[in-house]
Amino acid sequence: MLLHTTPVAPNPRRVRFFLAEKGLSIPMHDVNLMALEHKTDAYAKINPLLTVPALELDDGAVLTESVAICRYIESLYPEPALFGRGGREQAFVEMWQRRMEFGLFAPVAMAFRHSHPRMAALEQPQFPEFAEAQRPRAIRMMRFVNDELAQRRFIANENFTIADITAFIAMELTKLARVEIPDDLPHLARWRAEVAARPGASA
């Protein structure tokens, strides 16, 4: 397998975090987004949608989308179970993963992509008004998650899962997205500090 990734983007970082939590190391190729390497004809042959990450499998097939890649890795290396065990637990992990994807990760990412000057070459056109509208959405989800984390250690349950990875990567992007994290979210702060100490956080 070969993972096409980039050190500067949140979605590839989700996959690297996932791999680190599994204790896995696979060959990687860094794609230079700022040099628009992902828009070259050579990369288009790997992923016609021109996005990273992309995982080239040993049989030549290419798997894209970060969570899909993580699901495939989980099928090969089921421990630790980052998508949950059994139908009920997996359903709740999926629920929280989707909540974090659409309620936190997406608003923060869109605020970043539509407001940061360095994103101008990648997000054409940028809509600053759209970015501004995303920030309150992200903060509302932070408050919701804070209340939930008063009841358990991690996002979906007492175990670390893909939902925590998605939420953490979103929180790491808040500074660049100019999303101000409220000071009155102690449970979110506790969770974030704990996740930041995990091996995958620096992947």
Domains and CATH numbers, the chain: 2-76 (3.40.30.10), 86-202 (1.20.1050.10)
Buried/exposed 125-161: b ≥16 CB within 10 Å, e otherwise: ebeeeebeebbebbbebbeebbebbeeeebbbeebbb
pTM of the model: 0.93
Q: From first to last of its 203 residues, what are the pLDDT tens digits of the chain?
A: 999 999 879 999 999 999 999 999 999 999 988 788 888 999 999 999 999 999 999 999 999 999 999 999 999 999 999 999 999 999 999 999 999 999 999 999 999 888 887 777 777 787 989 999 999 999 999 999 999 999 999 999 999 999 999 999 999 999 999 999 999 999 999 999 999 999 899 88
pLDDT computed for residue 188 by the predictor: 98
Sign of CA dihedral 198, 16, 30, 173: negative
Using an 8 Å Cβ cutoff, are 76 and 22 in contact? no
- Find residue 30's DSSP bridge partners: 5
Tokens of 43: 């990369």
pLDDT computed for residue 36 by the predictor: 83
- The secondary element (H helix, E strand) that includes residue 68 is helix 66-76
Query: Cα separation of 19 and 152, whole Å?
Result: 24
pLDDT computed for residue 169 by the predictor: 97
pLDDT computed for residue 125 by the predictor: 87
pLDDT computed for residue 144 by the predictor: 98
> Which residue type, as a one-letter code, is found at position 203?
A
pLDDT computed for residue 203 by the predictor: 80
Using an 8 Å Cβ cutoff, are 190 and 151 in contact? no
Tokens of 44: 């288009």
Length of the chain: 203
